C-alpha cells in the first residue's frame, strides 16, 4: 500500500492519466467542461468500494441482529455452565470451562461453527449478488461502472471479513464471559499438556482465524449460489440447505470416503490448535480444502456473473 501511495505522490495524476486515456480530451464533446478525472490507483478505488460494502454490511439492521445473537449465545452457554456446571458426567471440555474461563471460547466456537456461524455467513453471502439484483441496485452499480470482476471480488472480501468479524464476536463474547464468570489460568490442552495463559490466548487467535477461513470458503460457495438467482432468500436457503445436507453426509459412517471432501468436515478441525504439538498437518489440510472451495466456487461465480445478462 505504501508503495502505491509514494508512487502517486511522485507522479502528478495527470501524467498518470494520459497514457491510459489517450482520447480523453479528444473524446470530450465540444464545449463540454469535462475535467479529466484524476486517475487513482485501482487498488485504492477497490478499497473505496470495499469500504462502501462494509459500511452497508455492518450498518444493515439484519446483519447487526445476527452479530448480536452470535454474541449472546456464548454468554448464555457461560451462564448455563456456571449455574449447572461442575457436573462430572459432562464431556470434559465443558467441565474444564468451570476450571478455566478461556475454554469457553473453544466450547462456544465448536458449537457455533456448526450451524449458527454458517447461517450468518450464508445470509450475507447469499444476499451479496442476488440481493443487489432483486433490489435493482446491481444495474446501477454495474453502470457506475463497478466492473463485474471487481464487484465480485469486493463482495467476496466483504463476506470473508463479515465471517471473520462474526468469529471474533463469538470469541470475544466467550472470552469476556469466561473471564467474568470463571477463574482463568493456565490452559490444559486436549493432549493433557498445560500451557500458560498468554499461549492460550494465542491459540484462541489461531482457532478464530481458522474458523474464519472456513467461513470464507462457505462465503465463496454462497456467493456462487448468489450469482445464480435474483431471489436472495433462495440463495441463502440453498446455501444453508447445502451446509445441513453436507453435515448429514458427514455423520453417515458409510460415507466416510466422501467426508474429507466436504467443507463442513473441516470446520471443527480447529481443535488441532488445542493439541500439543499443534496438529499443523490437519489444519493445513483444512486450510487447503478451504482454499480449494474458495477457488472453485469463486471461479464458478465469476464464470456465471461475468457473462450474465442483468435483467433486473
Partner 1 sequence: MTTGEGAHEAAPPRVASRPASPDDCSIVSRGLTKRFRGGQVAVDDLHLAVPRGSVFGFLGPNGSGKTTTIRMLLGLMNPTSGGCEVLGRPMPAGLSAALPKVGALVEGPAFYPYLSGEANLRRYDAADPAADPRTVTSRVGSALDRVGLGAAAGKRYRAYSLGMRQRLAIAATLLGPRELLVLDEPTNGLDPQGTREVRSLIKEIAADGTTVFVSSHLLTEVEQMCTHVGVMRTGRLVAQGPIAELRDGHALRVRVESPQPAQAASVLNQLGLADVRTGVDEVTAELGAVAPERVVAELVGDGVSVRGFAVLRPSLEELFVGLTGEGFDVDG
Partner 2 sequence: MPSQWSRARAVRWGVPVAAIAVVGAAVGAGPVVAAVQGDPSLPDRTAEQLVADVLKAGHEKAPPAMSGTVVETASFGLPALPVPGGSSSSPMSLLSGSHTLKVWYGGDGRVRLALPGPMSETDVISTGKGEAWLWQSDTNTATRFKPAQGAAKADGAEPAQSALPTAKTPDQVAAEILKVAGTNTAITVENGQHIAGRAAYQLVLTPKDTSSLVKEVKLALDGQNHIPLRVQVFAKGTAEPAFEVGFTQVTFSTPAPENFAFTPPAGAKIQEKTIGSPAGEKKPGAAGAGQEALGKDTKKPRTFGSGWATVAEVPFSLADLSKAPTSEQGKHGGDPARVLDTLLKSAKQVSGPWGSGKVLQSKLVSALLTDDGRLFVGAVTPEALTAAAGQK
- Minimum CB separation of residue 191 from partner 1 in Å reads 49
Work out what residue 99 binds among partner 2, partner 1, none; the CB cut-off runs from 5 to 8 Å by kind.
partner 2
19 in contact with partner 1 (CB under 8 A): no
Nearer to partner 2, 30 or 91 (CB): 91
Q: What is the DSSP string of the chain?
A: -HHHHHHHHHS-HHHHHHHH-TTHHHHSPTT---PPPPP--HHHHHHHHHHHHHHHHHH-HHHHHHHHHHHHHHHHHHHHHHHH---TTS-HHHHHHHH-TTHHHHHHHHHHTTTHHHHHHHHHHHHHHHHHHHHTHHHHHHHTT--HHHHHHHHHHHHHHHHHHHHHHHHHHHHHHHHHHS---SEE-TTS-EE-HHHHHHHHHHHHHHHHHHHHHHHHHHHHHHTT-S-HHHHHHHHHHHHHHHHHHHH-GGGTTTGGG-SGGGGGGGGGGGSSS--HHHHHHHHHHHHHHHHHHHHHHHHHHTT-----
With CB cut-offs between 5 and 8 Å by kind, which of partner 1, partner 2, none does residue 280 bind? none
Residue 30: contacted member of partner 2, partner 1, none (CB under 5 to 8 Å, by partner type):
partner 1
Residue list 142-161, contact with partner 2 (CB under 8 A): none
Closest distance of CB 181 from partner 1, Å: 36
Length of the chain: 312
- Does position 15 interact with partner 1 (CB under 8 A)? The reply is no
As measured in angstroms, the least distance from the Cβ of 1 to partner 1 is 16
Contact flag: residue 65 with partner 1 (CB under 8 A) = no
Q: Which of residues 134-153 bind partner 1 (CB under 8 A)?
A: 135-137, 139-147, 150-151
Q: How far is the CB of 204 from partner 1 (least distance, A)?
A: 34
Residue number, 52 or 110, with CB nearest to partner 2: 110
**What is the contact mask toward partner 1 in residues 22 to 41, using x (rule: CB under 8 A)?**
-x---xxxxxxxxx-xxxx-
Residues that bind partner 2 (CB under 8 A): 91-93, 95-96, 99, 106, 110, 186, 188, 190-194, 251, 253-254, 256-257, 259, 261, 268, 271-272, 274-277, 279, 281-282, 288, 292, 295-296, 298-300, 302-303, 306-307
Amino acid at each position: 500500500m505504501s508503495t502505491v501511495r509514494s508512487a502517486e505522490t511522485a507522479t502528478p495524476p495527470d501524467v498518470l492519466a494520459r497514457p491510459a486515456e489517450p482520447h480523453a480530451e479528444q473524446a470530450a464533446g465540444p464545449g463540454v467542461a469535462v475535467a479529466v478525472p484524476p486517475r487513482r490507483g485501482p487498488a485504492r478505488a477497490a478499497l473505496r468500494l470495499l469500504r462502501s460494502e462494509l459500511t452497508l454490511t455492518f450498518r444493515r439492521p439484519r446483519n447487526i441482529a445476527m452479530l448480536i445473537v452470535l454474541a449472546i449465545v456464548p454468554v448464555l452457554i457461560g451462564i448455563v455452565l456456571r449455574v449447572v456446571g461442575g457436573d462430572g458426567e459432562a464431556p470434559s471440555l465443558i467441565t474444564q470451562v468451570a476450571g478455566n474461563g478461556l475454554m469457553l471460547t473453544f466450547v462456544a466456537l465448536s458449537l457455533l461453527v456448526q450451524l449458527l456461524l454458517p447461517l450468518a455467513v450464508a445470509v450475507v453471502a447469499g444476499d451479496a449478488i442476488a440481493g443487489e439484483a432483486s433490489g435493482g441496485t446491481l444495474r446501477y452499480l454495474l453502470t457506475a461502472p463497478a466492473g463485474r470482476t471487481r464487484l465480485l471480488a469486493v463482495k467476496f472480501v466483504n463476506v470473508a471479513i463479515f465471517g471473520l468479524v462474526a468469529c471474533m464476536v463469538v470469541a470475544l463474547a466467550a472470552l469476556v464471559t469466561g473471564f467474568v464468570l470463571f477463574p482463568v489460568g493456565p490452559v490444559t490442552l486436549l493432549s493433557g499438556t498445560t500451557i500458560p495463559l498468554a499461549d492460550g490466548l494465542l491459540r484462541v487467535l489461531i482457532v478464530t482465524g481458522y474458523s474464519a477461513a472456513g467461513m470464507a470458503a462457505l462465503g465463496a460457495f454462497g456467493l456462487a449460489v448468489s450469482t445464480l438467482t435474483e431471489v436472495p432468500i433462495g440463495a441463502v436457503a440453498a446455501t444453508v440447505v447445502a451446509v445441513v445436507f453436507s453435515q448429514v453426509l458427514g455423520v453417515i459412517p458409510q460415507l466416510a470416503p466422501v467426508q474429507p471432501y466436504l467443507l463442513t468436515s473441516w470446520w471443527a478441525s480447529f481443535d488441532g490448535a488445542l493439541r500439543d504439538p499443534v496438529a499443523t498437518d490437519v489444519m493445513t489440510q483444512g486450510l487447503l480444502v478451504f482454499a480449494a472451495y474458495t477457488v472453485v466456487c469463486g471461479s464458478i461465480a465469476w464464470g456465471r456473473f461475468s457473462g450474465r445478462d442483468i435483467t433486473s
